[in-house]
């Protein structure tokens, strides 16, 4: 049994991670943290660098149920997360939700919406405090 967290190294990702840790404790489920990038820019702030990954791992190392951090590069962010959800037959997907401006909605798609619609398991969407 696993819980998958869609992670970004920002406040939304941390909120999702906190909720994911909580859920995996409650369910006694393994935690899989997914950090995805399109890999089409030289620098991507939402892709955790080495230091951020090691901080993440030290945060998770207290978890008795076991954990895994996966970083991947691919054309679609939501597909990368959903692939992991399907592969691990996850019981729950945890994501962070951000506020979107009307202009943002016009120009950009929503990864969160793709995940909500595409996930085979229930999705827990959290907001930062």
Partner 1 sequence: MDSLSLLWDGLQAAMTPSNLVYAALGVLLGTFVGVLPGIGPAMAVALLLPVTNGMEPTQAFIMFAGIYYGGMYGGSTTSILLNTPGESASVMTAIEGNKMAKNGRAAQALATAAIGSFVAGTIGTLLVVFFAPAMAEVAVGVGAPSYFAMMLLAVVLVTSVLGSSKLRGFIGLFLGLTIGLVGLDLSTGQPRLDFGSALLAGRIDVVVVAVGIFALGEALWVAAHLRSKPLGIIPVGQPFLGREDWARSWKPWLRGTALGFPFGAVPAGGAETPTFLSYLLERRLARNSDEFGHGAIEGVAGPEAANNASAAGTFVPLLALGLPVTATATIMLAAMQGFGIQPGPQLMESEPDLVWTLLASLLIGNTLLLVLNLPLAPLWARLLQTPRPYLYSGILFFASLGAYTVNQQPFDLFLLLLFGLLGFAIRRFGVPVLPLILGVILGPLMEVKLREALALSDGSPSGLVNEVLAVLIYVVIALALLVPPLVARLRGEPDSPRREREEQMSDR
Q: Choose between 52 and 110: whose C-beta lies nearer to partner 1.
A: 52
- Based on the shown chain and the rule CB under 8 A, indicate whether residue 10 belongs to the binding site for partner 1: no
How many CA atoms, within 13 angstroms, populate the side-chain half-sphere of residue 120? 12
* CA nearest to 28, candidates 2, 5, 6, 60: 2
* CA nearest to 94, candidates 23, 36, 26: 23
Binding to partner 1, residues 24-43 (CB under 8 A): 37-43
Residue 26 CB, shortest distance to partner 1, in Å, is: 34
Q: Choose between 37 and 119: whose C-beta lies nearer to partner 1.
A: 37
Binding to partner 1, residues 42-101 (CB under 8 A): 42-45, 47, 49-51, 73-75
Q: Choose between 50 and 129: whose C-beta lies nearer to partner 1.
A: 50
Distance of alpha carbon 70 from alpha carbon 129, whole angstroms: 26
- Based on the shown chain and the rule CB under 8 A, indicate whether residue 105 belongs to the binding site for partner 1: no
Alpha helix locations (H) across the chain? 11-27, 50-60, 77-87, 102-107, 111-118
Q: Give φ, ψ of 90 to 5 degrees.
A: -65, 150
Q: Choose between 50 and 64: whose C-beta lies nearer to partner 1.
A: 50
Which parts of this chain interact with partner 1 (CB under 8 A)? 37-45, 47, 49-51, 73-75
């Amino acid at each position: 049994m696993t819980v998958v967290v869609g992670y970004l190294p920002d406040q939304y990702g941390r909120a999702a991670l906190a909720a994911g840790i909580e859920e995996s404790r409650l369910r006694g489920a393994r935690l899989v943290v997914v950090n995805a990038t399109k890999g089409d820019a030289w620098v991507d702030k939402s892709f955790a660098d080495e230091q951020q990954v090691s901080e993440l791992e030290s945060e998770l190392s207290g978890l008795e149920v076991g954990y895994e951090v996966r970083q991947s590069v691919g054309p679609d962010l939501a597909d990368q997360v959903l692939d992991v959800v399907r592969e691990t037959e996850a019981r729950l997907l945890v994501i962070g939700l951000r506020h979107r401006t009307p202009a943002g909605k016009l120009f950009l798609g929503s990864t969160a919406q793709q995940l909500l619609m595409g996930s085979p398991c229930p999705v827990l969407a959290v907001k930062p405090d």
